[in-house]
């Protein structure tokens, strides 16, 4: 397995991850989902515009207008059961920056009429839950490779309670490669593709 590249500035990356984790903690603690969503939008834009680890190219950050984000839709927030009765699957991605990353399917979350999303575990030191999504608007209104809902190793964690997992499509966000092709990102595998349009979260940058 390829080793992950040591970041150019480890302290800057640590700061980015702390700020992301802090932002999602405030979202989880906010009893008003609309207000929490707005805090997330503003906080993420601030990171994208100002932080050294932003995927926005450095010479574009000062004039970055912010990511287009759809209005919060409560119907797209799911208290989904973490169904672990699934056949094991895995996929591997050569990210370049994080080396070769391996994911194992550990469950599925069913989102009513929208369908289901596979739940993936980062099968490396420390681990973490990863839930991407690609919807019917991919390539037109949403990023063609899909977006991320949860990536707990990076701090993007909307919470859980027992065997219930918060899957809120309003918090779908673009991977770094949507902003700069120099990044290589894990994209949504077949079990994370929804046939329906999901006009929620960050839209096409």
pLDDT at site 153: 93
185 in any annotated domain: yes
DSSP 53: T
120 in any annotated domain: yes
pLDDT at site 2: 45
pLDDT at site 3: 47
Q: How far is CA 155 from the centre of its chain?
A: 9
pLDDT at site 8: 73
Residues 18-64 pLDDT 10s = 999 999 999 999 999 999 999 999 999 999 999 999 999 999 999 99
Residues 117-149 pLDDT 10s = 999 999 988 899 999 999 999 999 999 999 999
pLDDT at site 133: 98
Q: What is the 3-state secondary structure (H, E, C) of 135-169?
A: CCCECCCECCCCEEEEEHHHCECCCEECCEEEEEH
pLDDT at site 45: 97
User: Which residues, other chains included, contact 57 with Cβ-Cβ below 8 Å and sequence gap of 6+?
Assistant: 179, 180
Task: Look at residue 1 and tell me whether its pLDDT is greater than 60.
Answer: no
> Which residue(s) pair with 80 in the sheet?
165
202 in any annotated domain: no
Q: By residue range, what is the domain housing residue 90? A: 10-192
Look up residue 73 and give its two tokens. 């839709």
Asked if 50 and 58 count as a contact pair (C-beta separation under 8 A), the reply is: no
Residues 68-123 pLDDT 10s = 999 999 999 999 999 999 999 999 887 666 678 899 999 999 999 999 999 999 99
133: nearest Cα among 197, 52, 37, 45: 197
203 in any annotated domain: no
198 in any annotated domain: no
What is the distance between the alpha carbons of residues 86 and 48, in angstroms, rounded to a whole number? 36
- Number of domains, the chain: 1
pLDDT band at residue 5 using 50, 70 and 90 as cut-offs = low
72 in any annotated domain: yes
pLDDT at site 16: 96
Task: Look at residue 7 and tell me whether its pLDDT is greater than 90.
Answer: no
pLDDT at site 6: 57
């Amino acid at each position: 397995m390829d080793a992950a590249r040591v970041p150019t500035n480890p302290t800057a990356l640590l700061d980015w991850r702390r700020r992301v984790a802090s932002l999602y903690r405030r979202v989880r603690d906010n009893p008003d989902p609309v207000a929490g969503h707005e805090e997330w939008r503003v906080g993420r834009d601030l990171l994208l515009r100002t932080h050294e680890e932003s995927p926005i190219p450095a010479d574009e950050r000062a004039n970055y207008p912010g990511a287009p984000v759809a209005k919060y839709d409560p119907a797209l927030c799911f208290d989904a059961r973490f169904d672990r009765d699934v056949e094991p699957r895995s996929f591997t991605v050569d990210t370049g920056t994080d080396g070769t990353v391996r994911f194992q399917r550990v469950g599925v979350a069913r989102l009513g009429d929208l369908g289901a999303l596979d739940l993936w575990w980062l099968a490396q030191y420390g681990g973490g839950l990863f839930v991407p999504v690609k919807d019917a608007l991919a390539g037109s209104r949403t990023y063609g490779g899909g977006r991320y809902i949860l990536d707990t190793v990076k701090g993007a964690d909307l919470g859980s309670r027992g065997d219930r997992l918060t899957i809120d499509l309003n918090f779908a966000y673009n991977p770094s490669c949507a902003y700069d092709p120099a990044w290589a990102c894990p994209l949504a595998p077949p079990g994370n593709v929804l046939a329906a349009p999901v006009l929620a979260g960050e839209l096409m940058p």
